[in-house]
Structure 1
């Protein structure tokens, strides 16, 4: 059996024992919706079923199928057995992401259901395991092609991609794995750094509580033990704080200079957590965290209490052979390395809740990330509910990554096209802002990136004008607020600018065609022209007294969109060191 993406998929919550279920699965389309009536979940898929390479969607080359036609219902099937030493433990079945609705069957019985195409979920499959250890796993997945209220991001509602929309992703697109756990185990860990007090807060949720339960906490920094402590567990939720600052004796570390996390110094603390009672160890987790703070003070965006100019690049997270799924873990890492090579200190992950492995590489390499929800095309009450449910899961999953510094629940009024004056859609924007703040008090929230803001911590503006026009537009905050990018006002009716940090969160979009046809917001004919155009327009932003950062469109070409600094297969379109020279001006 071939298998790709065999690295551990959840690096901030890692257990030693697990089985990767990526690789060959049976797969079939169910265009007549006959699978349920014919009991495919019990009897198996039809003999004419195909072989698919999980975790790649059938629309991708990596899947081995590579078909772009819409199939609203698909089925997956595979067999597995569990090791003998797992027999006395619970077995959890994990899915990194399945787009969009998923029913999971084990040995003919329905185990559970999940809706949401971008977030992780798991089920306890222990009661459904076969006593002879021959287990039959089946998935039924629905990805409706005609529902524009589903949060899809850049996935197109037509079969052939065009303009700014790309090939659909249906079904499993992140790793599937099995994991044994004790009846008493960690269900979640959350890290909250506090650099002002020099401490790290940890929140732990436990599946069950027994007598004399405790957690041994071991925190180390660059191989040196910093914390070695024990916490008594009295309930299913436990919150503690550990003093880190006073554990450092070197004078260079007194104010955190040697152990804060930043793109320039991505310092991480390694953690081992062991859950045990008087008789045995119940669970063991490896994790990590970074000590950093993102804040806004007097209209300035700060990192670790210092003004920080953000030089971001728009990253769609698409790959030629895998679409939303990176063909390898190194592919995710390489995108960050290429961006850093060009002098960018972060990325806005556009209309995609990214694979946790990407955040891991951003944490370890030192790369800022703006986390953005994939939006729907149209508004309805059900669309609002779907977006809310999935966004809650995303914020909870990715909360502890130090690289993730801004939340963006809505973009360019997608799914709220009448937000400029419609009170209901304004209420949805406000609700997403306040919901996110209620889940995470440590990060700024940009409620509707691009224009037509309601209440937002950051004023993010999308503007694809020329360098001269940009220079005039951002001479002052007053001029900035009077602009009408895409003929949209910066703030929705009834709302106004209140001194929030101004960032140009999309600009450029310079198209340079290396091969094939495509489009961009403006065009050049050579790599040298691309560098000059990038220089002119970026320096116009550098010269602005009010702009505190930017996000250039974009890192790579994506399908027919050719405004990347790199081609779709990650080949440079120009001399990358020249882009870095420009970016290094600030």
Structure 2
């Protein structure tokens, strides 16, 4: 548990904890406080002063899929590390045939109760299906392993004793057609260890009735204004009309100084505030404005949240005439200026925590490492990170192309999907249902896509959405409709309809993969040319690999000098492609991951295989 300001205190006896297994660890594993792991406030884009972390020691049990919670636990688990990870203290496979149960108790601070306060229970992400119980009352079920969710627990709390909290998790992983990214029950090659359960922070917080539920922040550098939509909710659901006896007050902040303020008559409409002489956000100058939003309820407690935004604009400039071939090709503009986006593929896996970074410092380390190598963009590949990862990208100035975690299952739909891969225009039609026949898996993917966008849309670092990668699940959808869906949800960013393989001729870019590459498609008039993956040069560093005998890469180098020489040749070719109209590239990859040793960093993040200053110098011409 934690005190009112979120400062962690023990959630049980933490002396039991030690990382499970003897496999590769990061330096941060040695510094984990099991009483308070990942204790930073989890949601910087909608921050409240009072909150209590539920990270730490929980009881766990793995049962048959349909079994009830057992009378005794199998042991202790350290939340928020997934059950298969070393840092959970468990490191056990769960699998689709089982349920993973979590249980703990919590108390509500006395000053949180009364005065119309409600208590919200929040989860950053649970993979895949989570059913939540408080004091044996079932609150509901959330499906989707990459999106946040919350329950109002107020009406089910005990006031004279501690409260019992239980979570049942089921996860089909690659036995079902769900968004899973690179997870596999049989990891190897480009697929990695599956994760199950709570893998992002859990916390509780007091909120007034009504409360601020979400913010939609849209900066406009053309008018030096910012539009803020305040979505308000009650325990009974969202508020869609004017709120009686309630007002919203919004402040734009430069540090502690108020830049502009507004108190509109109708809190449910977009609020437009001036940002005089607005400072632009960019990788070179990632300036962030603060935002404070207060919801005043006459006679009751008021809600008070803090957020932030960056004044930036990303857009596609179609092909033009005149000038060099590079200038004639469609260009991606940041704040009205062409910027070559030199990216690196980031899988977001850790040897000790798998999906979950061992520390907030570790999240920031990867971004800072990429910057030190001279990259200005990360392609977050087949995974959605905790909100704090994007916060670090925002404050450090790292552009992000955000993948939707892919879905693909040869087991259930093998022949149809194989046909789809061979016949490029073939599409799997009709219903795609889960094993029970009750869940529409196509709609579940689209719903999760919507929720990913809504959860991340305020981060200035994110400049492009990538719904599909290399045909994985693409054949199950009308790709044009998915692109239109993304543009309707978020008209402020670019859409890459498919990174690699089967382009459907829609979206803002034509993205090809080339190994070792680099490569590009022919220049089009209305879409920019992107090399979404290339490279993959492998190099084993003894003592820093997942497997004792090393791993594989698309091309395995025998020495550091050979790696550096081959990488230099790739960059020289990249410079030529840039002159021919290429606007963005993504090298595979930032770090080794399990069997893959094609990272620029080792899996434990201890060794830069090519020195960062050398890489930064090689990249300089691409960025000029």
* TM-score exceeds 0.5: yes
The structural deviation recorded for 1:218 is 1.7
Instruction: Count residues with an aligned counterpart.
Output: 531
Deviations 1:16-62 (A, max 9, x none): 00110000000000136321xxxx3xxxx432421000001110011
The structural deviation recorded for 1:215 is 1.8
Residue number among 80, 84, 97 corresponding to 1:55 in the alignment: 80
Please, which runs of 5 or more residues in structure 2 have no aligned partner?
1-9, 11-34, 234-238, 319-329, 410-427, 433-439, 543-548
The structural deviation recorded for 1:279 is 4.0
Deviations 1:231-289 (A, max 9, x none): 2335xx221111213xx4xxxxxxx5xx1000000011011111114445510001100
Query: 1:178-327 to 2 correspondence within 5 Å?
Result: 178-207=204-233, 208=239, 210-233=243-266, 237-245=268-276, 248=277, 256=278, 259-279=279-299, 281-298=301-318, 299-327=330-358
The structural deviation recorded for 1:148 is 3.3
Residue number among 469, 475, 480 corresponding to 1:430 in the alignment: 480
The structural deviation recorded for 1:498 is 4.8
Q: Could you tell me whether the CA contact under 8 Å between 2:513 and 2:533 is conserved in 1?
A: yes
Provide TM-score, normalisation by structure 2: 0.82
Residue number among 498, 507, 512 corresponding to 1:456 in the alignment: 507
Return the alpha-carbon distance in structure 2 between the equivalents of residues 124 and 393 of structure 1: 19
1:574 to 1:128, Cα distance in 2 relative to 1, 3 A: same
The structural deviation recorded for 1:189 is 0.6
2:162 matched to 1:134?
yes
The structural deviation recorded for 1:184 is 1.4
Q: Could you tell me whether the CA contact under 8 Å between 1:275 and 1:281 is conserved in 2?
A: no
Return the alpha-carbon distance in structure 1 between the equivalents of residues 203 and 389 of structure 2: 18
Return the alpha-carbon distance in structure 2 between the equivalents of residues 98 and 324 of structure 1: 11
Q: SS state of the match for residue 175, structure 2?
A: coil
Q: Could you tell me whether the CA contact under 8 Å between 1:384 and 1:428 is conserved in 2?
A: no
2:524 matched to 1:504?
no
Q: SS state of the match for residue 179, structure 1?
A: strand
Equivalent position of 1:65 in the other structure: 90
The structural deviation recorded for 1:546 is 1.7
1:103 to 1:280, Cα distance in 2 relative to 1, 3 A: closer
Return the alpha-carbon distance in structure 1 between the equivalents of residues 600 and 387 of structure 2: 25
Return the alpha-carbon distance in structure 2 between the equivalents of residues 447 and 200 of structure 1: 28
Q: Could you tell me whether the CA contact under 8 Å between 2:59 and 2:73 is conserved in 1?
A: no
Q: Could you tell me whether the CA contact under 8 Å between 2:174 and 2:184 is conserved in 1?
A: no
Please, which runs of 5 or more residues in structure 1 have no aligned partner?
249-255, 420-424, 481-496
1:449 to 1:176, Cα distance in 2 relative to 1, 3 A: same
Residue number among 94, 102, 105 corresponding to 1:79 in the alignment: 105
Equivalent position of 2:42 in the other structure: 9
User: Cα RMSD over matched residues?
Assistant: 1.7
Deviations 1:518-560 (A, max 9, x none): 1111111222222221111122011121211211000000001
The structural deviation recorded for 1:451 is 2.5
Residue number among 367, 372, 384 corresponding to 2:398 in the alignment: 367
2:577 matched to 1:526?
no
Q: SS state of the match for residue 441, structure 1?
A: coil
Equivalent position of 1:579 in the other structure: 615
Equivalent position of 2:365 in the other structure: 334
Equivalent position of 1:410 in the other structure: 468
Q: Could you tell me whether the CA contact under 8 Å between 2:133 and 2:167 is conserved in 1?
A: yes
Equivalent position of 1:386 in the other structure: 444
The structural deviation recorded for 1:499 is 3.5
2:209 matched to 1:151?
no
1:275 to 1:374, Cα distance in 2 relative to 1, 3 A: same
Q: SS state of the match for residue 253, structure 2?
A: strand
